[in-house]
């Protein structure tokens, strides 16, 4: 791969330099380091877990084997939802997860992944890199002894699988639904009973009737997990996840001990693995959706009254958290201003183009 070749040549600087550099100097500049990395996910979710594998492979290859990170799936060292604490307390040096799983610790973490009616993938990337996103998230994660790095985005997600059709807001009342983060609180105000269930336990819970509905990511992952076999109604859009950013957490003490070129390599490798993750979903979601429909899935858009109720409940909750959590208020105001400033451009350019092309293509059939 050309990008990988470039990183090997450029990422480590003097490591690939002239013969005039003595071997002891190289060894000192690029010490042998072995880290452990845990993930919220496992091999049963290839796009998510394979991006963590790609990160580890890139670090090792570019460092010539001097910087090695061993990846452990969820449950092998710590539970899937234990990544934040495990990295913060130094049980492992780094970990891959989605920050909105830690909503219960502080809802501000959700801005690092997704919040209801928030940014799409490109807007999120822009906020993190060109806006104040990364600076604000670094400020938040520093309180947990973590240096965070964006590491890919799933894009806009689906609204999940339901045993029964959702015709209006009343149909949500009493619904036991697997969801995560901020969305659970919003949905609870609409009558849903939210359940936070680890990825590996979702299908059995849905099959046994412990759950009435489930949202996870989108067609690629949902097809592999087989939700359509026990809940046929597939709703869109996932208004609580206009995009969903994955993150790499690095223990701050371990990070600060690294040579500067290794620190730079982590940054480069997360960008590479993140681009691969987003490309994976963008390339394969459409085919997976076709297969799901052919297998019996019934595709449905959420009714307008459901969307309007969700929008209202989300804004009420934003105000409540802002009133009692100064950090949440600080991030929320910055994030939403970026959203409000950015959405009009996307609606004019991207939205109009996509809408026209969709109509034009459907008319050819």
Domains by residue range for the chain, with CATH: 2-155+243-283 (3.40.190.170), 160-241+285-320 (3.40.190.10)
What is the Cα 229 distance to its own chain's centre?
25
Listed as ranges, residues in the chain with pLDDT below 70 are 1-29, 180, 199, 365
Q: How many residues make up the chain in this entry?
A: 365
Cβ proximity of 342 and 119 under 8 Å? yes
Distance CA 341, CA 155 (A): 20
Cβ proximity of 106 and 325 under 8 Å? yes
CA angle 261, 95, 49 (to 5 degrees): 105
Predicted local confidence at residue 16, as pLDDT: 42
Predicted local confidence at residue 28, as pLDDT: 56
Cβ proximity of 140 and 331 under 8 Å? yes
pTM above 0.75, yes or no: yes
Predicted local confidence at residue 181, as pLDDT: 74
Instruction: Give SS3 for 183.
Output: helix
Pairing of β 193-195 and β 233-236: unpaired
196-230 pLDDT, tens digit per residue, is 787 678 889 998 889 999 998 999 999 988 999 99
The token pair at 247 is 């993150």
């Amino acid at each position: 791969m050309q990008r990988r070749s470039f990183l090997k040549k450029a990422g480590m600087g003097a490591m690939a330099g002239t013969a005039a550099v003595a071997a002891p100097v190289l060894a000192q500049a690029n010490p042998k380091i072995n880290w452990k990395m845990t993930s919220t996910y496992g091999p049963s979710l290839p796009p998510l877990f394979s991006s963590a594998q790609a990160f580890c492979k890139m670090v090792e290859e570019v460092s010539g084997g001097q910087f090695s990170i061993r990846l452990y799936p969820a449950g092998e060292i710590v539970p899937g939802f234990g990544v934040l604490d495990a990295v913060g307390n130094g049980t492992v040096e780094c970990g891959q997860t989605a920050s909105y799983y830690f909503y219960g610790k502080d809802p501000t973490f959700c801005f690092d992944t997704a919040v209801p009616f928030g940014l799409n993938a490109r807007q999120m990337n822009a906020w993190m890199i060109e806006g104040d996103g990364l600076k604000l998230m670094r400020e938040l994660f520093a309180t947990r002894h973590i240096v965070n790095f964006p590491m890919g985005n799933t894009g806009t997600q689906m609204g999940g699988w339901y045993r029964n059709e959702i015709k209006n807001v009343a149909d949500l009342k009493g619904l036991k639904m697997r969801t995560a983060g901020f969305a659970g609180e919003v949905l609870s105000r609409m009558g849903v009973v939210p359940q936070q269930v680890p990825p590996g336990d979702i299908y059995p819970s849905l099959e046994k009737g412990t759950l009435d509905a489930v949202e996870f990511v989108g067609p690629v992952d949902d097809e592999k997990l087989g939700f359509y076999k026990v809940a046929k109604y597939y709703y869109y859009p996932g208004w609580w996840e206009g995009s969903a950013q994955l993150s790499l957490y690095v223990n701050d003490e371990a990070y600060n001990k690294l040579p500067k070129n290794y620190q730079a390599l982590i940054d480069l490798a997360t960008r590479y693995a993140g681009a691969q993750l987003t490309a994976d979903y963008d390339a394969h979601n459409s085919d997976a959706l076709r297969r799901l429909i052919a297998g019996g899935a019934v595709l449905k858009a959420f009714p307008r009254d459901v969307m309007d109720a969700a929008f209202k409940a989300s804004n009420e909750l934003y105000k409540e958290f802002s009133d009692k959590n100064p950090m949440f208020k600080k991030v929320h105001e910055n994030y939403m201003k970026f959203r409000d400033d950015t959405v009009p451009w996307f609606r004019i350019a991207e939205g109009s183009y996509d809408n026209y092309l969709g109509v034009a293509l459907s008319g050819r059939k």
